[in-house]
Amino acid sequence: MIYADQCPWNEKSVNDVREAAAASEHGIDLNIVKLVHSKEARNAPSGFGVFSLLLNGKILEDNYISK
């Protein structure tokens, strides 16, 4: 998961997805990267640059999500 602080919902979504992954019976190993600098956002895998959930390099979601 890649995210930035642009929207307050992003932080909530990160916490929700982190909790869901930890509680998962599927052994989800969630790696979370917080974008801090504008250059990081410009080089993010999604055109939005502030939230991306990826699996094996493919974007699963580019908007914040909840549990």
Q: Token digits for 53?
A: 């959930």
| H helix count then E strand count, the chain | 2, 4
Q: What is the mean pLDDT of residues 40-61?
A: 86
Q: What is the mean pLDDT of residues 23-42?
A: 88
Band of residue 35 on the pLDDT scale cut at 50, 70, 90: very high
Is the pTM for the entire model greater than 0.85? Answer: no
> In this structure, what DSSP letter does residue 51 have?
E
Band of residue 29 on the pLDDT scale cut at 50, 70, 90: confident
Cβ neighbours, 10 Å, residue 12? 12
Q: What is the mean pLDDT of residues 23-45?
A: 87
Which pLDDT value is given to residue 43? 87
User: Domain limits of the chain?
Assistant: 2-61
From 17, 19, 10, select the one nearest 51 (Cα to Cα): 10
> In this structure, what DSSP letter does residue 26 have?
T
